[in-house]
Amino acid sequence: MSEIKTIGVLTSGGDAPGMNAAVRAVVRTGIYYGFKVLGIRKGYEGLLNGDMEEMTLRSVGDIIHRGGTILQTARSAEFNTEAGVKKAISIAKVFGIDALIVIGGDGSYRGARDLSNLGLTTMCIPGTIDNDIASTEYTIGFDTALNTVQDAIDKIRDTAYSHERCSVLEVMGRRAGYIALNVAISGGAEAAILPEKEFDIDRDIIKPIIEGRNRGKKHYLVIIAEGVGGAVEIAKYIEEKTDIKTRATILGHIQRGGSPTVYDRVMASRMGAHAVQLLKDGFRNRVVSLQNGAITDFEINEALSMKKSIDEKMVELNKILAL
């Protein structure tokens, strides 16, 4: 096995709060162990363009508290082709990159797997607000996004209370309902509509609202996961069926930004350091993961074959607490 001297690091896919803390951990742990670390700008796109520079201890100073990613990110169409992956391998050779650390979501993991299949050592760190990577219980950015959504819910609740209204809130999560389910519980929602569960608007939204009203409720919150969508239409339907004034809010990209929470900073620091430690210890092509509170790792193909399901107990809990 060839010796690793130079590590490239990039952030890919949607940005997530805590990515900077992960980059910082990779750079500082890397330098601590004697590696040369190259920071690649704009994800795989930057790798294809050779857009990179050597990182120093100071180049990651004053970033741990910052949202977004100082390395910037992109979704590269060219890299998603066989020719693109081959080109990325050849550019990595030009710059002497022996191993690549990718911080991103499962699309970014698949890119790393393709590179590893062609012989470039890769390590992945889970970074996405969606928490939808099967091989890990936690992805960097999730906690910050939840807190951002919760802050918005608390504000919307003030208005819903004052006007005795129903609020329908659409939250991000791509095809997964982890953000939606968690904020439904933390925000005290009457209903949470998740892509993982088939849904009937009368049974799952209208009925709990009317039953709540019969028990004396005066304002209501319905959380819709982006993977289901249709918040505006759902709000209209609720108003028509119940005569309760209903407004829809689609939170959008506000959920992706902001200073990372302590949890995200610590998790990103631990995961970033773990990826470098794996390289130092001679491991290749692995993904960093949180399992039962411990940082661990899996082989990349094994990780990509895993499935993640929604926590049914939490789905049930939300229904009980909405009573």
Q: Which residues are catalytic?
A: 130
Q: Please, what is the minimum distance in Å from the beta carbon of residue 227 to ligand F6P?
A: 8
Is residue 144 within 8 Å of 254, Cβ to Cβ?
no
Closer of 139 and 269 to ligand F6P (Cβ): 139
Do residues 247 and 212 make contact, with C-beta atoms less than 8 angstroms apart?
A: no
Q: What angle do CA 24, 27, 28 make, to 5 degrees?
A: 80
Compare residues 92 and 133 and give the one whose CB is closer to ligand F6P: 133
Footprint of ligand F6P (CB under 6 A): 14, 105, 128-130, 172-174, 226, 256
User: CB of 128: closest distance to ligand F6P in angstroms?
Assistant: 5
Q: How far is the CB of 256 from ligand F6P (least distance, A)?
A: 5
Q: How far is CA 114 from the centre of its chain?
A: 21
Minimum CB distance to ligand F6P, residue 175 (Å):
8
Do 175 and 225 contact (CB within 8 A), yes or no? no
| Pairing relationship of beta strands 52-54 and 36-40 according to DSSP bridges | antiparallel
Q: Where are the beta strands (DSSP E) in 55-139?
A: 99-104, 121-126
Q: Which is nearer to ligand F6P, 128 or 135 (CB)?
A: 128
* DSSP H or E segment with residue 246: strand 246-250
Residue among 107 and 299 whose Cβ is closer to ligand F6P: 107
Q: From the CB of 186, what's the least distance to ligand F6P, in Å?
A: 18
Q: What are phi and psi of 279, to 5 degrees?
A: -65, -45
Cβ nearer to ligand F6P, comparing 14 with 126: 14
Specify which residues 289 forms β-bridges with. 296
Contacts of 15 (CB under 8 A, 6+ apart): 67, 68, 69, 73, 256, 257
